[in-house]
Each structure stands twice: as C-alpha cells, then as structure tokens.
Structure 1
Amino acid sequence: MSVSQKSLSCTLEDISAVREAIARFDPSASTTIVGADKAKLRDIFAPTAHSNALDPATTLVLGARGAGKSFWASVLYNEDTRKLAADLYPRLGLDKLRVQIGFGGVGRAGASKAVIDELVPHGQERATADRFWHAVIAGAALKVTEPDQRHAPTDMLKRFADPQDWVDAMTEVDDDLSNRGESLLIVFDALDAISEDWGRLNGLIDALMRSVWELRGFDAIRAKLFMRPDQLSELRLRFVELPKLRSGAAKLRWTQTDLYGLMFARLAFDEEAGEAFDHFLVSLGLGKPPGKQEELRTWRLSNNETQQERLFEAMAGNFMGAGPRKGKTFDWPYNHLADGLGDVTPRSFLILMQNAAERSQSRDAGALVLLPQTIREGLREASKVRIEQLNTEYPWIKRVLQPLAGLRVPAAPQVFFDAWTENATVEAAVKIARKENALPPVLTGSSQNPGLLDREPDLANRLTKMGVLTSRSDGRYDMPDLFRIGAALLKKGGVAP
C-alpha cells in the first residue's frame, strides 16, 4: 500500500485539521525574555544538542537570528518554563537554579537602554562601563540575600564605590547560595539593543565580558550571554580572554531531525488539532504522541529520522515533482533553507511550512496535508522574510542586493563587481549605514584603503562572512536559495523568484 493510500485511513477532516494547525504556526513573532511574547510551555522543544546552551556553566551562547536565543533566555528566566526545561535536561540542575536578568532589551528586563545611556555617557565607555556592569551584576545577585530591597544600578554604583565592597557583597551571596545548594545565573540577551552606535557597542560589550569573566572566582554565581556569531566577529573587541570565551561557547544549531521534531511536537500539543494528529499517526502505525511534554525526549518522532520521513511523506507525498529528480519532499525544505554558513533556523523552517499549509488550504490537496508546489512557494515567503529580518540588522542589505536582481548564479566575481560599480553600490550602502548608525558594509577610513573606490571585493567578502554569498571551488560566487529567491537572482533548475 502506498503512503497516500495509508493516509486515507485517516479521515479527510483529520487531515484538514492538521493542515489548519500548521497554517496557524506563528514563526515570525519574536520572543522576548519577559512580557506577552515570552516563551510558552507549549512551544518548548528540547534538542539534545542544545543542552550546552542551557547549561549554567556555559557563558557564551551563539545563534543566528531566529535560532532561538531569546527563546531559551526566556525559558531559563521564567519559572514555569525553567521547570519543564529541568525535566527535559535533568543533568543540568536547572531545578536548583535562580535566574535574574542583566539586560533583556525590553521593559522590566534588567537594565534599560535609557539607564545605560544615563550612567555610561557616550564616549566614556572605557572609564565607566566596567563599574556599571558590576553594579548590574550586584543588583541581580543581592536579590538573593536582600529580596525586599531596591537594587537599581544607580543605588549599586553609590553602594559599591569601593571595589572591595563589591567583592565582599558578592562573596556573601556566593556563600549563601552554596550553603543552600543553589546557583544564580544572570542572563544577558538582545545585546545589539544596548546601542545603535557600533563604536559605543564595542566599548559596552567589551566591559560586559570583562565583568562576566570575573565571576569565575565564585562558586555559585554565573552569567550567560546570548549573541549572534556575526555580531561577535564584527565587533572589534579588545577583551583579552575572548578566545577562551569563544572556544567554550555553545552554538544553537538545528539539524533536519531537530526541526521536524519541533514541528511534530507543536502538532502533538496543539489544543485544536491534537486529536486529529493522533488519528493521523495511528493510521500510519506510528503510535500515539506523548501525553506530556516531559516525554518528548523519548518520543520517536522527536529524533528518529526514518520515522519522521515516513510521516512527512504521508503529509506531502514522496517527491517534489513527478519523480525523484526534483528531490524528496522530506529533504527539500532543509536543503533549500540553509544560509551560506550551513545554518537553518526554526523561524525560516516554520515560515515555509506555515505558508505551504496556508496555500494548500485554498487548493484541492485531497489526502495530502501539504502540496509539494506549496512547499516550493513557502520557500519564496521564507526568503522574503529572511531578507526583511536581515534588513533590521543591516539597513544597507537591500541596496546591496538590488543591483544583482536578474543575474544568473553561480557567476564570476567580476559579474557581481560590475553590477555594484555601475550602481555606485558601495558608496550608497555606506551612506545608509551612516544615516542609520549601523556598521558599514566595508570598513572606511583605514590606512590601507581610505576611500571607497574598488571596494567591491571587500563587499563580497563581507556578504560571504554573513552567509549571504558562498564562494565555489572554481572561484565563482553563488547565493543560497534562502536569499537568492527574495533578491530575484536566477539559477538554472532552481526555484524561480
């Protein structure tokens, strides 16, 4: 019996309910550490590889935009989600962890940007930022021993004018926690929101890393920084221990198995479609989904790729076309959503699936949950959204991609350079960066190359480091579909823009 015939033993109403559940996914919404957009219990999925990211002993967590940095920061901070994470990752001791926010980028999440601007004046980062972060860390720590007192950074700066007083107070908190068998973790998230000025951001994060590094002298007090890898590499940090911090960093990577596990977990715990998904699984001989989220780690569809492939082929058919030449439906989304660094984020993956389900609703999908052609169309939406998100960090990116529209890739580097030169792209992009107080696409004013003439190779190198371009072994540049489609570049045999 074929896969599609098997799925017919599940009612068309069940199939429609599963399709509607996928169409309800809200992957583009950003998580915040607190507030209405904080992490929800129903959305937690715990890949084994992410254990290091939640480990209190890991100081630096690196992840691309949309990889889940703010989500995990929120999971750690909020008590209900931290309790579930403790069950899913029992060896980490999260049940004996207290969590405070050092900085979270939103109101009620640690020190605010306004407070930072007031207490660390622009241009005085080297003189004042270290003391400021010590004050923030002290304020978070003293909530353990002085839970009813005010611990604002202004008060902490006055209280700990003598650095030895800071050490003594932190030692007292450390001893108290150790005696209780507990630990304190101070979380710093959304660090790019500290300042729009990259020079200032350099100074502030440099000081933050120095302050966090000093916590190694305590037994029960730790800090965790969530950052984008491109942000870390672009900041010209002078913190001497950065190589050690980077070498011990955890990276939020999502494998194909992780992403399908995430998707199926959301369906299993969907309040409206959970029963329909249950029927769908049983009809395929895949058993019932877990009754509780704590059981996700042992659920076969969380981590067994063979079982996952069987289920998805029942949902979308075996191939993207009439035969295997167009690719298998199971592998196709992951293969086409990777950036040039090989990363696929949950946000892009779920956007593709959500859009495909939405489009399949308006067509006669029959016994399929998702039509292959709608998966292809979902990639277009994911590409468009990814470029929009990239534009929030790099407001010049659209201006850089615009002259490339219509080019066929892979192409020789000179093809890219000529398109940019003809449109004065480097100069225009640098102007946009200056206007928006963003890091420019190429460094300007250096002794090696003070001007902007003939800087197109530098621009291409920058895009390669960002994962927007890739360099082939024959020297030609290519662009991953995740960006190519939204930027309207052409590729033989590829999805058309």
Structure 2
Amino acid sequence: MAELTSRRTAGLPCTCAGRWSRTNGRIRMFEPLSAAPMRTLVRDALGAVLDTDASTVPSSLMYTAGSGHRAVLYADTTVVRAVPGMGKTFWARTLTDSQRRSVASREFQMPRLERTAAVVAFGSEPDPVQVGPDELAALVAEGAAPVMVWTAVALTALGVTEMTVLPGWGERIAWLVRNPGALERSVAALDSAARSVNGDLVVVFDSLDRLHPDRTRADGLASGILQFAHDLAQLRTRVHAKVFIRPDMWASALPFLTWAARRSLRPVDLSWSAARGLHWDSASLYGLLFHLLGNHGSAEAATFRAMTPTWREAPDGRFAAPEALCSDVKAQEAAFSLIADPYMGANARKGYSYWWLPVALQDALGQVTPRSFLATLHQAAIHADGRLGHGRALHHEDIRRGWQEGVRTRARELDGTLPWVREALAALSGEQVPIEEERVFALWEQAGLLSRLRDRGGCAGASVTTGPRSVASHPALLDELIELGIATRRTRNGLIDLPDPYRFLHGLGRRSGVKRVAHAA
C-alpha cells in the first residue's frame, strides 16, 4: 500500500482515502466506516460521555494519554492549576475512585497508585466530614487562622480520633491551638500505616472557587490550604496534600503565603493544548476523540478500531488507541479527514478542519476545554443527520453550526464558577471589537456593574461562588478578565478584543465585519 500523508488524502473522497499505511510503522489504517455509520458513532459515542460529569464518567472512557496529565498524579505534585473545564475535579475523583486509580496506575505505569488511598477535605459535593461554606464564613468571621482551619479539616477527613470525637469545627481548631505538634504526631501514625503497604495517603482539596463569596476572604482561605500543604510536605512522610486550583486564585493566594511555602510548593498545569512554534498542538483533544470513538460499545466502534488494528485491549475491556492516534499530528489529521471534510470550505483557503476547530474554540490564553470540543462535534453529527449524499460523516458547514453549541458549552462551564463574567460581557452586547477601554468602562458604568457585583457578593442563586478579585474599579475588573483569558489587550494600540467564542456568545461584532444585532447571551 502506498504511503499517504494527511495533505495528500485530504482532497480524496472518503471511500478512496481509507486504505492507507505509513511505512515508518507508526500506524496502518484500512477501510473506514461509510458516512452514515461513522456519523452514528460520533453522535452516540460523544453523546454518551457528554451525558456524564466528573463523578459519573465510567472508567472505560478515561483518557490517559493527555499531555502532562500523568504529572497530576505524582505524589509530590502539591498543586494542580487549571482554568474551569480542564478536568480538575475529574482527576481529583480519580484519586478517590479505586477503579479509576487502577486504570491510571496501569496506563501511566505508576504501580504505587494501586496502593494509594485518598480522602477529600474540600470538594464539590456536600459531605458531613467536610466543612461547609457557611461554616467557613463563620470561622473566618470569628478570627480563626486559615491554616488552622484546614489542618483541622484535613485531620478530620483522615479520621484522626482526636478530631472526629469533637462535636464541631470551633472545638477542633481550639484543640489544635492547645496541642502544638498535633499535626506531626497524627501524621506520623498515618505515615507508618502507608509505609507498611508501600503506598501513599493523599488529602484532596478541590472546588476552591466555592470557598467564600468574597474574593479577598476566599484568597485568604486558599492560602491557608496551600500553607497546610507546605507544612505537610515539610514532614516528608507518605501523607500528601493535593490542591486543585484556578491559576488566578493561585496567583492571588501567593502573597498570603510565607516565602518558604511559595518556594516549596510544586505546581503543574493541566491543559489540553500547548503552543508549538506558530501552531497550537491539540493532539490531546483529538486523541480523546479517537479514544471515545473506539471505546463505545457498538458495532460501529469495533469497525472503527479495525481501521487501525493496533488498538490494544486491556483485561478490563478498555481499548487503548495506537500511539500515533494519540500524539502524531499528521496521523491524527489523516484519520480526522476520514470523519470530517478536510477543509472548512471548498478548498484549503478556508482552513483545514483539523486545525480550524480547536483554534475557533480557544480563549485568549489558547486554551480549549475537552467538553466544548466534544460538544461541537456531537452537535455537528446531529446537524449532519439530515444531509444526504455527502461522502463523509461531517460536512464543514455542520462543524460550523456545531461550533455554536461548543461555545455555549464553554459558557456553561464558566457560569458554574465565574458567573460574574457573563454580566460583565453582557453589558457590551451589540458593540464591535476591538473596542476602546473607555467605551467598555462607560458601558459598565451605565449598567451599574460594580454596584451589582458588590451587592451580590459573588453568589449565583443559592450556591456559593467566588466573585471577582476586585470590585473597586473598572480597570481592575478588566485586568482580571484579561488574566482569565476572556479578553485581551492589543499591544499596538491598547484596544480590547475578545476571542470569537465570547464575542459570539454576547452579541458583539467585529470591526470591518457585519454589525451583529445585540441579543441576550
């Protein structure tokens, strides 16, 4: 069989581009599914995973080939930084779920994970062992030091008897104050138990954007968690803290920490795309796509795997894709061209679909969340169901229409942790970007944005969510949007721009383009 690169297969009909191999031995691909069964597979496989969340996704759908994801599970990784939607809670749950830990242990080749136990000190789901947001607010108001609060919380989660027998958090904190060295003594006993099985014990802190509605107090509480993580690491035992946190909260908490803690904490960044020269490498996103297609429980999935017969089946029934489909950009682009139109138009001048899709979903920091990526392709498959006579499962116009659902999915992810962002951008609806800072500030002033955010205190409905870092001035609010990747400031003229997903969501046009009609986001 002749060697074909992705560019050479791109212009061929789907039925002609299917039988190919790469002579360097990295991947061999055979006859693909025809358009209708492939469309069914994309729709059903992605729909199944989009119907789950971090707690309900089955271990069979875990993807472990993501760039940098292995480092999240290292015992000495203290801090995991990621923007909302990147999978912080997923990996936090992986530590506490034995089935997922087993999969990660095998596929990351980290056997000690099998002998790791984890407890949640703070997370997204209510737990009687955890301290609630209302209790946290009361403890802070009473003057409790954040590091003492979290020491009490962690030791209670770890089942230390001196903590669990006391009736409330105030009593537990008071006991710690009266008993210096309690942390060292308690951890020493836990360390002995972990060493006896050559394992580790991990205390997990997640969902820190629900610590407190006031951002200053939330940053102080987050700094207490990080200080506790440092104190625990200094004991050099098999008991570790792992803190999942947004990058902006990490930056805000650092000034509260001791210099020693700032230097000793070991952070890693959880991401699904990375800058590679002039391009953004999104191989992890496409690797996730192929993994989900290959692990769907259908006949179409079995045929999809047969296209690249080097898939490996694990004892638990999971299928691991060929390495090239996980990391080789050219192999991925060629495989994607068997599913979707290779171009976003009649020819390459409109862009290659493989590259266009993740770039169109990026925020100003170049980040794409997996759920928004998958939602785009799932919706594209739904739109394509009514398209007859097309040689591939996904037409480029269906991908463009699916992009709108991907953008809405990203908005829902942000609304869960940063609801104030929607209000800030909604006030700009109907404008065109790039836009002058003064115009942004005038629109915010007209909408009474700062006073509304102050009155709300960062709360969205009945759930506690951390508000913006500062509601003292419009420039401070704009700087935070830029730091979050929601907006960007052009270096040449200082004008404010928005990435296309946020511009579309909030009804902003682009200068030199067609003026958009304002609409509710």
Moved more, 107-116 or 215-224: 107-116
Q: Sort the Cα spacing of 1:25 and 1:3 in 2 relative to 1 into closer, same or farther, 3 A.
A: farther
Establish whether residue 262 from structure 1 lines up as the match of residue 279 from structure 2. Answer: no
The residue correspondences of 1:82-481 to structure 2 (distance < 5 A) are 82-91=101-110, 93-108=112-127, 110-113=129-132, 116-117=135-136, 121-127=139-145, 129-142=146-159, 161-216=178-233, 217-235=235-253, 238-241=256-259, 243-244=262-263, 248-255=266-273, 256-272=282-298, 275-280=299-304, 282=306, 286-287=308-309, 289-292=311-314, 296=320, 299-364=323-388, 366-433=390-457, 441=468, 443-444=470-471, 455-475=473-493, 476-481=495-500
**How far did residue 163 of structure 1 move?**
2.5
Identity %: 22
TM-score, normalised relative to structure 2: 0.80
Distance 2:424 2:268 in 1: 31
**How far did residue 239 of structure 1 move?**
1.5
Q: Sort the Cα spacing of 1:379 and 1:110 in 2 relative to 1 into closer, same or farther, 3 A.
A: farther
Please give the per-residue CA displacement for 1:372-404, whole angstroms capped at 9, x wherever unaligned: 112111221222232343233333333322232
**How far did residue 311 of structure 1 move?**
1.2
**How far did residue 313 of structure 1 move?**
1.0
> Which position in structure 2 is the counterpart of 1:74?
93
> Which position in structure 1 is the counterpart of 2:25?
none
SS in 2 for 1:57: coil
Contact 1:329 1:372 in 2 (8 A): yes
SS in 1 for 2:427: helix
Contact 1:14 1:279 in 2 (8 A): no
Distance 2:329 2:459 in 1: 48
TM-score, normalised relative to structure 1: 0.84
The residue correspondences of 1:482-493 to structure 2 (distance < 5 A) are 482-491=501-510
Contact 2:218 2:466 in 1 (8 A): no
> Which position in structure 1 is the counterpart of 2:278?
none
> Which position in structure 2 is the counterpart of 1:451?
none
Distance 1:280 1:12 in 2: 12
Q: Sort the Cα spacing of 1:98 and 1:425 in 2 relative to 1 into closer, same or farther, 3 A.
A: closer
Contact 2:78 2:241 in 1 (8 A): yes
Please give the per-residue CA displacement for 1:466-486, whole angstroms capped at 9, x wherever unaligned: 211112232222211121111
Contact 1:28 1:351 in 2 (8 A): no
Contact 2:46 2:293 in 1 (8 A): no
Q: Sort the Cα spacing of 1:28 and 1:462 in 2 relative to 1 into closer, same or farther, 3 A.
A: farther
Establish whether residue 5 from structure 1 lines up as the match of residue 15 from structure 2. Answer: yes
Establish whether residue 45 from structure 1 lines up as the match of residue 86 from structure 2. Answer: no
Q: Sort the Cα spacing of 1:320 and 1:189 in 2 relative to 1 into closer, same or farther, 3 A.
A: same
Q: How many residues align?
A: 472
Distance 1:152 1:41 in 2: 37
Distance 2:203 2:45 in 1: 35
Q: Sort the Cα spacing of 1:364 and 1:61 in 2 relative to 1 into closer, same or farther, 3 A.
A: same
Distance 2:238 2:423 in 1: 48
SS in 1 for 2:354: coil
SS in 2 for 1:169: helix
Among 24, 49, 66, the residue aligned to 2:47:
24
> Which position in structure 2 is the counterpart of 1:448?
none
**How far did residue 354 of structure 1 move?**
1.6
Distance 2:61 2:116 in 1: 22
Contact 2:486 2:498 in 1 (8 A): yes
Matched residue type, 1:17 = T
Moved more, 486-495 or 354-363: 486-495
**How far did residue 113 of structure 1 move?**
0.7
Contact 2:310 2:322 in 1 (8 A): no
Contact 1:384 1:486 in 2 (8 A): yes
Higher helix fraction: Structure 1 or Structure 2?
Answer: 1
Q: Sort the Cα spacing of 1:346 and 1:496 in 2 relative to 1 into closer, same or farther, 3 A.
A: farther
Contact 2:42 2:377 in 1 (8 A): no
**How far did residue 162 of structure 1 move?**
1.5
Distance 2:210 2:467 in 1: 17
> Which position in structure 1 is the counterpart of 2:74?
55
Please give the per-residue CA displacement for 1:437-473, whole angstroms capped at 9, x wherever unaligned: 866657355xxxxxxxxx4443332221121111223
**How far did residue 173 of structure 1 move?**
2.0
Q: Which runs of 5+ in 1 are unaligned?
A: 446-454
SS in 1 for 2:284: helix
Q: Sort the Cα spacing of 1:136 and 1:378 in 2 relative to 1 into closer, same or farther, 3 A.
A: same
Distance 1:85 1:189 in 2: 19
Distance 1:251 1:105 in 2: 20
RMSD between aligned residues: 3.2
Q: Which runs of 5+ in 2 are unaligned?
A: 1-8, 19-30, 274-281
Please give the per-residue CA displacement for 1:183-233, whole angstroms capped at 9, x wherever unaligned: 111111112223333344233323222222111213211010111112323
> Which position in structure 2 is the counterpart of 1:15?
38
Contact 1:105 1:112 in 2 (8 A): no
Contact 2:202 2:239 in 1 (8 A): yes
Distance 2:263 2:389 in 1: 53
